[in-house]
Structure 1
Amino acid sequence: MTGSTAQRPGLDARGFLTREGCLARVPHAFRPVVAATRDRLAGVFGRRLHSAYLYGSIPRGTARVGRSDLDLLLALREEPTEADRDDARALGTALDAEFEQIDGHGILLFSRARLLSDPERYDLGWFVACLCTPLLGEDLAACLPRYRPDSMLARETNGDLALLLPRWRRRIAEAGDTEEALRPLVRFMSRHLVRTGFTLVMPRWNGWTSDLSEMAEAFAGYYPGRGEQMRAAAVLGREPVGDAVVLASYVGDLGPWLAGEYARVHGLKAPRPDGL
């Protein structure tokens, strides 16, 4: 399959990736959650906080009441401490308990310096500039370049799957065998594999989407032999079930194949100074 000459979603007229979310797209039901989050972040972190961002389905406008989680990225003025992480967890837990609109939370903490560092230019930097919506503070996107859906971006965002698979196997072994324990792993790994599959073909597809079904279809257009696996993973990324067989297939078949093909096509992600 060859890429279409028509302009793909997620690109401007010059072929640069556009920011996918904005506060105006936040569904009405989630606006009280966002307002409370903004107010409480300032109170919890004060001057430690440089800027805060929403990402995921809420700023994209696709969040589902009672099903979607609250995703935040916090840029701190200094490297995050354990106390900072504890504060973030406590804040997320409190918001999750108070607002029935959300089901879970995820809060990423990084220093401003790391987000703007050269090693993170095409990973965390791109994430802030293109997938995060400013909520508080000065927007770091002003300090970052424009991005195209090219092989460098593919390599630096998801070219580390081979390193992740051993960690995934340990997490599966330590999780136990209950449906409740395995469901979050199925959700997380399904989403990660679909996104990795999409960025594998992203330079040829020449565009961006965060919709799991669209990602899987884009991948299947170039790898039809693996298309059904990726479509199934997209479904499980939205509606997970705690199935040990699914997880075994991820770390024993789809994941290793995808890691090898990714390395062949784009190469390996550059090592980070801290090994992350």
Structure 2
Amino acid sequence: MNAAQADAYLRRLGVRNPAWPTIDVLRELQLRHLQTVPFENLSIHLGEEIVLEEKRLLEKVVGARRGGFCYELNGAFGALLAVLGYDVSLLAGRVYGEGGRLGIPFDHLALRVRTVDAGEWLADVGFGALSHGPLAMEEQGEQEDPGGAFRIAEAGPDAAGVRGGGRAGAGAGATDLDLLRDGIPVYRLEARPRALQDFAGGAWWHCTSPESHFVQSLVCSRLTQDGGRITLSGRQLKLTAPDGTREARELETDEEVLEVYRERFGIGLDRVPVVRGTPGGGG
């Protein structure tokens, strides 16, 4: 990423070019990213190719003013943070599912970010609804955030009884970490830094497997300025207030759907995406 691309990215976020890579700047960048760049899987259902290369991610997130899912959003955000002077590592995660079972390898991409003034932080703009700000990786206690009470802990056994860390390729002495929200495990992170291309297999699975929830459904969601959330799932528009109360309504026409994408998410589409495998959805 060059300086002009970084400036364009920051303009999309509505943030000035920072003087130093501090924790306060990281907090502002993450919050603005969550508010302005939607978490969405529309490409899967529009037949658009997802390529995990920095140039292609910037063309989508900055040039086309679109969103994406974890590999795209955290991949692009990590590139921005690096050019701003942060020390950034890409971490592979596995998301906890039903029964406490972990998802596929490279199920998720998150960021370990070192600031000049406050150590290492977990930054994640690609999970959908999670923490609003970065989380201190060296803090063992609970960290209060508008998104919940979070804790980063050494990984315990998963539902299959397998403990984190100590696996081949994890690195000498490396220990996996579990992220918990309100006491419930969210995902497990490897300690070993990865390259963006390492996540290609996970992205392919999420884009093609009938078992992938991204293939099974449509989502476009972002944090609102007041700390709530707006989500369009297919034709259902959901507005969640900061206190958790929710309103939902069905959009009846294609024109209404396209208007919500355009006016509420800044995404201009020429047709309504339809879940693959459904009438009119292809696949």
TM-score computed with the length of structure 1 as normaliser: 0.26
Give the TM-score normalised by the residue count of structure 2.
0.26
Higher helix fraction: Structure 1 or Structure 2? Answer: 1
Structure with a larger share of its residues in strand:
2
